[in-house]
Amino acid sequence: MDHSPSPALNVRGLSVTFGTRQGPVPAVVDVDLDVAPGELVALLGESGSGKSVTARAVMGLSTGNASVTAEQIRLGDTDLLALPESEHRKLRGARMSLVFQDALSALNPVLSIGDQIGELFRTHRGMSRRQARAEAVNLLGQVGIPAPTRRVNDYPHQFSGGMRQRILIAMAIALRPELIIADEPTTALDVTVQAQILELLDSLRRELNMAVLLITHDLGVVSEVADRILVMYAGRIVESGTADDLLSRPGHPYTQALLRSVPQADTRGQELYAIPGSPPSPANQPSGCPFHPRCTWAVDECKTTRPLLTLLAGGRAAACHRTEEVLDAAVTG
């Protein structure tokens, strides 16, 4: 499934299991994922599907009760699995960075923005305070903060939500990383601000040739910016492919159902397609295919045998026993 000779991020067989009082809970199981330089890949899923856990595992930021296993996690030519924590830490911010969803809690309220951005340059590049401050002003201008020389001394609470998100993006791109993971970067924002932030991410990855892994649950956002899409359900990737293929012709019933349940202009006034039930909790997953209790395509086989993620024509993949039929239905229906 290689899309480029040297992907910026290359993950094989990633699993994350949380140890809880009720026993081990598998949150992410056997995830493969590639992001090429300059490519924007969307990881689409609902809450509890494991998308944020995946992001944290890649960044090496998993919590203490998580056990992370993988065959391979490579950032460019660096094997992250073999790296000691101290070395891993040096990569974070410099070669890969994470944009959090909630900008207000991701920023330190008692440090000025200039100090927070400058810290990256001082720690990773050994710059002086003055140089770091100048770089911070530069970056703020680059992400579209008006009057950056003045605003660099302000504190997080003095910025609006959209501005704070821009500041997080500024910090993420500060050291020109190869990979940015953006975890629901626009979920807390209004649509007009969301459009600005998505545009910013899109132009930055084009100009700086960064690989972007965008984590989201919003099909509209995905449709607007993604090159490729990975759909997660109950901790596994259930479908992957180019955004064009996947959105116009979904190969997994879950993707298909999600797309049908979104209100569209021409379905106004009609009943929306509603997926029955709710997503399973990672601690209590159904047997066989985890989607089968909610699936209209389910047959007996689905209750007992979990379908594997299978390669299809055109470089796409889906984990469903009836993919071919689902694909055909998308064309005729």
Partner 1 sequence: MQPSPGDVVLDAQNLHKTFRGGRGQAGRTRVSAVDGINLTLAAGESLGIVGESGCGKTTLARMLVGLDRPDTGTIMVHGRDIAHARGGDLRELRRRVQMVFQDPYTSLDPRMTVLELIGEPLVVHRLMPNAAARRDRVAELLALVGLAPELMNRYPHQFSGGQRQRIGIARALALEPEVLVCDEPVSALDVSVQAQVVNLLRDLQKRMNIAMVFIAHDLSVVRHVADRTAVMYLGRLAEVGETDTVYDQPAHPYTQALLSASPVVDRANRGRMANRIPLAGDPPSPTDPPAGCRFHTRCRLSKDLCGREQPQLLAIGGDANRVAACHFADESLADARERAEAA
Which range binds partner 1 by CB under 8 A, 21-29, 92-100, 117-125, 269-277? 269-277
Q: Which is nearer to partner 1, 31 or 222 (CB)?
A: 222
Does 198 engage in binding with partner 1 (CB under 8 A)? yes
Does 23 help bind partner 1 (rule: CB under 8 A)? no
State the amino acid at position 17 in one-letter form.
T
- Please, are residues 245 and 316 in contact by the beta-carbon 8 Å criterion? yes
Residues 6+ apart with CB under 8 A from 153: 112, 113, 114
Residue 331 and residue 40: Cα distance in Å, rounded? 26
Tokens 């969307």 sit at which residue? 42
For residue 234, give every residue at least 6 positions away whose Cβ sits within 8 Å of its Cβ, in sequence order, or none: 49, 50, 279, 280, 282, 285, 290, 291
Beta carbons of 277 and 254 less than 8 angstroms apart:
no
Half-sphere exposure of 233 (CA within 13 A, CB side): 28
**162 is a contact residue toward partner 1 (CB under 8 A):** yes
Shortest Å distance, C-beta 149 to partner 1: 18
- Cα radius of gyration rounded to whole Å, the chain: 21
Report the residue from 22, 63, 278, 284 that binds partner 1 according to the rule CB under 8 A. Answer: 278
User: According to CB under 8 A, which residues from 121 to 160 bind partner 1?
Assistant: 146, 160
Question: Is the CB of 60 or the CB of 315 nearer to partner 1?
Answer: 315
Q: Contacts with partner 1: how many residues (CB under 8 A)?
A: 47
Nearer to partner 1, 134 or 273 (CB): 273
Among 163, 214, 230, 237, binds partner 1 (CB under 8 A): 163
Residue 65 in the binding site for partner 1 (CB under 8 A): no
Output the six-digit token pair for 82: 């073999």
Residues within the interface to partner 1 (CB under 8 A): 46-47, 146, 160-163, 190-195, 198-199, 217-224, 243-244, 247-248, 257-259, 261-265, 267-269, 271-276, 278-279, 294
